[in-house]
Amino acid sequence: MTKDQNQMWGGRFAAGPDAIMEAINASIGFDQRMAAQDIAGSRAHAAMLGAVGIISDTDADAIREGLLTVLSEIEAGTFQFSTALEDIHMNVEARLKDLIGEPAGRLHTARSRNDQVATDFKLWVRDQMDAAITGIDALMKAFLDQAKAGADWVMPGFTHLQTAQPVTWGHHMLAYVEMLARDKSRFEDARARMNTSPLGAAALAGTGFAIDRHMTAKALGFDRPAANSLDAVSDRDFALDFLGAASICAMHLSRFAEELVIWSSAQFRFVTLSDRFSTGSSIMPQKKNPDAAELIRAKVARVMGANVALMMVMKGLPLTYSKDMQEDKEQVFDAADNLMLALAAMTGMVSDMTANRDSLHAAASSGFSTATDLADWLVRELGMPFRDAHHVTGSLVAMAEAKSCELSDLSLEQMQSVHKGITDGVYDVLTVENSVASRLSYGGTSPTRVREQIAAWEKVL
């Protein structure tokens, strides 16, 4: 470590850390990802220092221009990051000093690395929230396109992965639009809640310099400065909010990924995935593996793991800043990367997949999926209490099972042997098309309701 680099520590330290301390203390290996945010925060800070007269306009302008040069070097890949300089803040400041000399030393007036890193990290997480919202919008549109294509296609609805009642393909696709809309709202809520600026809180107590925190907050797109300096430098709720929303979103992606794995199997054949999101087998030429869906299904573990890890980092920390908090970023970086990759891959799969309408219809027609419609008919037409109707329907299902046929294949005489009041009008409710058409309650699977929801979502999106 050079003498100049050692002076970054200040006069308190006569010797630099040894190699082990340097390795455990340095964060430049990962926090360099926040370079753009760090430079944006420093440029806003320098402009404010100049505007209120803490530093000269000449120095403020030199700092701001020099920082743009540093940013251009980082973006071009020519910037030399140094582990000895610990983090992105010191790396940028050292290079700024190389470029403009003495004025660089005035940049850190009235701030600390504590409020600086909190600001940088907030800006980075805010950008990731915006990216997640954009990615969710794209996936919602892909699901909506699928819903439009098959608004009246009949498929089985499942409980316990057992055939329950017929539903429409469009209705099933819209279920994921609803889930994703909640994910989007969580990110939007978290973004609004986090949008206060830590800059100017300094180390923990604020500063004696007459700074204008509202000016820097506005310059960086924050709604206002954070109101308590202790909280400002120690708060990582915004990162936990991001990870919480990301975990729920990843869980939703995993649920559909699981359905794709099942649906694309030879036993189901509900969908055909495109070659772009499938792989073959090294030994079995007939195989087409839904690897992208399987990997998305696994990504939720990494995102949720990051959420738990950061919660454990923060749970025992007294106010205000502790070096433990350096462990916040890698968790969030990894979760953000994996969430965005999963969103992009899922959007591609949903856009490219082909629903096999005949297979969906055949599956919907099997497994006595219209049994509930039969019970409802008994209640509606014969005035039977539902519990009695449930019993009669169960007896008819048992009869059909014994004869290896569907309910609609039972003769009227066979049905009347269970309950003499049944008429041939019962056959009107035993087709899957009539079953889904009858589900006209708000939020139901009727093609009429599905098309209404599609129209509503098209206005939103």
b/e sequence 130-164, b meaning 16+ C-beta within 10 Å = eebbebbbbbbbbbbebbbebbbbbbbbbeeeebb
Q: For this structure, is 274 an active site residue?
A: no
224 forms beta bridges with 196
Q: Which residues pair with 159 in a beta bridge?
A: 162
Per the annotation, the verdict on 408 as an active-site residue is no
Tokens 């980092």 belong to 313
Listed residue (230, 262, 244) closest to 363, CA to CA: 262
Q: In whole angstroms, what is the distance from residue 78 CA to residue 95 CA?
A: 12
Residue of 160, 404, 411, 441 with catalytic role: 160
What value, to the nearest 5°, has the Cα angle with vertex 328 and ends 89 and 244?
Answer: 135
For 263, residues 6+ apart whose C-beta sits below 8 A from its C-beta are 269, 270, 271
CA distances from 124 to 40, 321, 340, 350 (A): 11, 19, 14, 29
Rounded alpha-carbon distances, angstroms, from residue 220 to 111, 207, 215, 290: 16, 20, 9, 43
Radius of gyration for the alpha carbons in the chain, expressed in angstroms and rounded: 31
Separation between Cα atoms, residue 423 and residue 415, nearest integer Å = 9
Beta bridge partners of 156: 166
Among residues 72, 265, 281, 322, which one is catalytic? 281
- Catalytic residues, by residue number, are 160, 281
